[in-house]
Amino acid sequence: MNFFSLIYLGIFSLIISVFSFFNIIYSYYFNLYLNLNCYIYSLIVSIVLGSIFIFQHKKKYKISIYYKILTVVLGYFVLTFLISIPYYFSIYNLTFLDSYFESISGFTSTGFTIFENIKHLDQSLILWRSSSQWIGGLYFLCSIILLIDIFDTSLKKTLTNFLSFDISETIKQSLKILILYTVLTFFIFLILKIIDLRTFDSLNLAMTLISSGGFLPVNNLSSIINTNLKEIIFSFLMLISFFSIFFVYNLLFFKKKNIIFFQEDIYLLLYFLVILFSFFLLLNYGYNFSVILLSLTSSISNMGVSLEKSPQNLSFIFLILVIIGGSFFSTSSGIRFLKLYALFKFSINNLILHARPKNIFLNKYSLFNVNIEDIEINRYFLSVIVFIISLFILSSLLTISDISLESSFKLSILTIMNTVNSNTYGLDGFNFQDLRFFTKIYLIFFMIIGRIELLTLLIIIKKFLLKN
């Protein structure tokens, strides 16, 4: 394997060891000894594996796009194995598949859980679940730096023109992401403390919010987010994972400020304001608006968490918002608003050309003097096709597994978009513990697909076929 790949996986293995050590200290401090050995095992294995990965003598710094893809994909299997260790050796007698399912669900920030009652869990294990989301969100952001050339050349040019994507600079920029990601997590934690949430809940929710995750420290969000003010503040905190993580960095630290660097975030802000205004005028009947706001921001940020009183009659609309998703450089999932806007713009221009063939229509973003390249349009269109194919395949597999057609369709969308099942989508009572063996395998596979996109696997398959 390429040396850089080992370094990349080794660093994240050591990050897991840091959280393992933190859980050991936490368990000792609060006398939580029931699952203490689990984190010791995780600490030892992650340190040993991370050290083996990092201290390799064969240094090869050139890395092809295929090695980049393999590195990212391999990380979703190797790192989640390390995260699954505390689940497997805990006192809750989980099978390895259930442990791995919980680990994948956390690392991909999906939030599906095999635990029926969070109140019965050891506090250290609740903290471990939230930590897995935090690590997974960081891994996803760093992986975008590796794979950006596949998905979005135009965004690379406009949003992150200041970045250099060779190996040494990738490591430096990943360090910047780590610092910014940590600072934003601490900021969310402080805000949650200010609105009078207890420290344990604030810490867990901070790691959930920054990563667009779905794991909660309680069974029901309504038990801690129980006032209109808390609902509104919590809603706006979810927007941190909706906008680009580079937005704050560009705004505060990039000296040559240019409006183009905020292109996607400006579009996302306009998109958010439009749907917020639409909900307020048209869909606010019978509900407290703060509840609607929380369901709205939870859906567009791909978190999916909800309150008990969330409007289930609007579940289809919220699912559409889940599919659209947030910023390309955020921890949210989704097809991405800017991609859909570019496709819409391209389609309208081509329709008009049939009516006015002598006119010339340029594919540009309306607010910016930025052209949309044909190759980008093809990639965006392929992303939509891949989503439809993935949705059809997973829905069919879940239906065959004796899950109702409606639940299969909803669950497939949430799985591919890495969004937790909740009251907002009418799936809050779904039981993952009792699913069949292969059904859990399907969900694990497509949760990973939701993070790396099927397009990356198609590139690897194409490479393999060309070799043969």
Tell me how far apart the alpha carbons of residues 194 and 460 are, in angstroms, rounded to a whole number: 48
pLDDT band at 337 (very low <50, low <70, confident <90, very high): confident
User: What's the whole-number average pLDDT of the chain?
Assistant: 84
What is the mean pLDDT of the segment spanning 35-42?
94
What is the mean pLDDT of the segment spanning 74-97?
94
Q: Is the pLDDT of residue 146 over 60?
A: yes
CA-closest candidate to residue 132, choices 186, 81, 178? 81
Tell me how far apart the alpha carbons of residues 174 and 140 are, in angstroms, rounded to a whole number: 11
Strand runs labelled E in 138-239? none
Q: Residue 387 contacts by C-beta under 8 Å, 6 or more apart in sequence?
A: 323, 335, 416
pLDDT value of residue 400: 94
Burial tier of 117 (Cβ tally within 10 Å: 0-12, 13-18, 19+): exposed
Q: Residue 129 contacts by C-beta under 8 Å, 6 or more apart in sequence?
A: 102, 106, 113, 215
pLDDT value of residue 8: 84
pTM of the model: 0.90
**CA dist list (Å): 289 to 47, 174, 192, 220, 305:** 48, 39, 21, 19, 16
Helix/strand/coil for 371:
strand
Q: Is the pLDDT of residue 105 over 50?
A: yes
Helix/strand/coil for 137:
helix
pLDDT value of residue 225: 94
Q: Which structure tokens are listed for 59?
A: 């240094």
HSE-CB for 205 with a 13 A CA cutoff: 27
pLDDT band at 340 (very low <50, low <70, confident <90, very high): confident
Share of the chain above pLDDT 90, in %: 51
pLDDT value of residue 156: 44
What phi, psi does 65 have (nearest 5°)? -65, -30
Collect contacts of 457-461 with beta carbons under 8 A, ≥24 apart: 457/69, 457/73, 458/386, 459/65, 459/66, 459/69, 459/150, 460/66, 460/69, 460/70, 460/73
CA-closest candidate to residue 24, choices 132, 131, 124? 124
Decide: 383 and 335 in contact? Cβ < 8 Å: yes
Tell me how far apart the alpha carbons of residues 145 and 153 are, in angstroms, rounded to a whole number: 12
**Mean pLDDT lowest among 72-76, 85-89, 168-172, 449-453:** 168-172
**CA dist list (Å): 422 to 101, 115, 285:** 18, 14, 21
pLDDT value of residue 250: 67
Rg, the chain, Cα only: 22
Higher pLDDT, 274 or 2: 274
Higher pLDDT, 382 or 127: 127
Q: Is the pLDDT of residue 367 over 80?
A: no
Tell me how far apart the alpha carbons of residues 428 and 24 are, in angstroms, rounded to a whole number: 32
Decide: 74 and 89 in contact? Cβ < 8 Å: no
Q: Which structure tokens are listed for 19?
A: 């959280």
pLDDT value of residue 160: 42
Decide: 259 and 217 in contact? Cβ < 8 Å: no
Higher pLDDT, 349 or 113: 113
Helix/strand/coil for 364:
strand
pLDDT value of residue 157: 45
Burial tier of 384 (Cβ tally within 10 Å: 0-12, 13-18, 19+): middle
